[in-house]
């Protein structure tokens, strides 16, 4: 049974970090945008409007001019205009859509000599969004071959206890694993409950970028009786200092030199093959732990990590459930058809990407094609206002999943999830345990 939980979090009613993250954080100005449909969703051809109010130091503003643009999700605006907040509020007609998708209302105003911006996305029949990306010939055979080659690489493990992240409830270890090819490694932090027993395991691949990582944000998993492995994918020690990581990132982490475009002309040589196959090697190690309960192996992650979690669930039958928030790497080539594409927005932010060879490679790596293969329970959560992993591409993934699935849709969210949502994810994981 498919369950979909939709939370409508309007700025006018929100409190705490929800307002702070979207207003923006610690700004003197607060935007309040209220759609005429409270869940921010509309039928095709239904007209949408948004009431706009602006507060400066908490004082409702009058006689302020608001400039706005309206257009499809992540695509150029199709209309623009200006409107005055003559009575402290204005209503903007956002229009409608004839095909499933999102319209993005972007706002700007000058207050006390500074320009402040805000935006709000509205969904039109989003539950029927379908991806542009199609399944390439030989997809399953390709990945079966790559898995067999990677599995032949001997597993070498270095495990170092980390006092900094260990206490009377949790033991933390820094793990180094040989993966994908001999002489290539990945690292990660393993947190294990410090008590007798055998426990479910959660494998968590990382978000995008080349940056330091620590296990602190999710150590509550181990505190609540769940082993967790937070992995990096580049073979770089996660405990290096920030300055060193910045140097490495500048060398091969940005623009047309990014690892996300490295080898994109050939599916056999694309950089992300290492990330996908290293995830399976991590499972080899995690299922060897004497503390594992022998039954429950869950993949969980956000953004790039959400994509890798879904991909791992499709590639490895040992996974028993998967949770992903705002997954990246989704419907990436949709931009070539004039549609909204997913992170890393190769056809929007990079040059020289639109070639037949690159488009073919992406078919083998796009998460929507893996989502079609998932057979275990899935939990996904995403926001409408996300400009990193846009909601169009999250729906493109969710709508092709045929396994039992559940969605927590939080319209106000940009590219973040709250601490409460992180705990909701763990609660869902616990509900799947055998």
Write out the catalytic residue numbers. 303, 386, 415
User: Per the structure block, which two tokens stand in for 199?
Assistant: 């426990």
Secondary element (H or E) of residue 176: strand 170-178
All residues at 6 or more sequence positions from 197 whose CB lies less than 8 Å from its CB, including other chains: 225, 291
Output phi, psi for 73, to 5 deg. -55, 115
User: Per the structure block, which two tokens stand in for 289?
Assistant: 């732990």
Number of Cα atoms under 13 Å in the Cβ half of residue 242: 1
3-state secondary structure 55-75: EECCEECCCCEEEEEEEECCC
Q: Is 218 helix (H, G, I), strand (E, B) or coil?
A: helix
Tokens 């080659």 belong to residue: 149
All residues at 6 or more sequence positions from 301 whose CB lies less than 8 Å from its CB, including other chains: 204, 205, 206, 207, 307, 308, 309, 323, 324, 325
- Cβ-in-10-Å burial (0-12, 13-18, 19+) of 218 comes to buried
Tokens 């109010």 belong to residue: 53
Task: Report helix angle 356-365 to 139-151, nearest 10.
Answer: 70
Tokens 């602190």 belong to residue: 216
Residues 397, 324: Cα–Cα separation, whole Å: 11
Residues 369, 367: Cα–Cα separation, whole Å: 5
């Amino acid at each position: 049974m498919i369950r979909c939980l939709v939370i409508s979090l309007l700025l006018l009613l929100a409190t705490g970090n929800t307002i702070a993250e979207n207003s923006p954080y610690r700004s003197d100005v607060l935007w309040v945008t209220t759609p005429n449909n409270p869940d921010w969703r509309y039928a095709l051809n239904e007209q949408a409007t948004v009431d706009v109010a602006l507060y400066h130091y908490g004082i409702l503003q009058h006689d302020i001019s608001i400039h706005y643009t309206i257009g499809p999700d992540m695509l150029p605006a199709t209309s623009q205009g200006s409107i005055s907040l003559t009575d402290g509020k204005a209503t903007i007609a956002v229009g409608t859509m004839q095909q499933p998708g999102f319209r993005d209302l972007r706002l700007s105003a000058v207050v006390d000599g500074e320009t402040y911006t805000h935006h709000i996305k509205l969904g039109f029949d989003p539950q029927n969004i379908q991806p542009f990306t199609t399944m390439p010939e030989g997809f399953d055979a390709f990945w079966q071959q790559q898995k067999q080659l990677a599995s032949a690489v001997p597993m070498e493990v270095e495990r170092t206890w980390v006092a900094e992240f260990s206490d009377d409830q949790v033991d933390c270890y820094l793990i180094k694993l040989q993966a994908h090819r001999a002489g290539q490694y990945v690292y990660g932090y393993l947190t294990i409950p410090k008590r007798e027993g055998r426990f479910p395991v959660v494998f968590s691949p990382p978000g995008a970028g080349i940056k330091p990582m620590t296990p602190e944000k999710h150590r509550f998993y181990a505190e609540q009786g769940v082993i967790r492995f937070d992995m990096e994918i580049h073979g770089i020690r996660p405990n290096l200092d920030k300055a060193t990581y910045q140097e490495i990132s500048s060398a091969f982490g940005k623009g047309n030199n990014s690892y996300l475009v490295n080898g994109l002309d050939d599916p056999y040589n694309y950089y992300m093959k290492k990330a996908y196959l290293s995830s399976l090697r991590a499972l080899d190690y995690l299922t060897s732990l004497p503390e594992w309960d022998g039954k429950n192996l869950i993949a969980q992650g956000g953004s790039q990590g959400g994509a890798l979690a879904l991909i791992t669930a499709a590639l490895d039958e040992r996974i028993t459930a998967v949770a992903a928030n705002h997954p990246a790497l989704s419907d990436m080539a949709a931009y070539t058809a004039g549609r909204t594409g997913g992170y890393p927005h190769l056809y929007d932010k990079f040059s020289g990407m639109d070639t037949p060879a690159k488009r073919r490679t992406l078919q083998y790596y796009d998460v929507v094609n893996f989502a079609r293969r998932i057979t275990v329970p899935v939990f996904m959560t995403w926001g409408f206002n996300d400009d990193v992993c846009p909601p169009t591409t999250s729906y493109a993934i969710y709508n092709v999943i045929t396994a039992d699935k559940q969605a927590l849709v939080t319209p106000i969210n940009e590219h973040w999830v709250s601490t409460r949502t992180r705990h909701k994810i763990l609660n869902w994981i616990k509900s799947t345990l055998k």
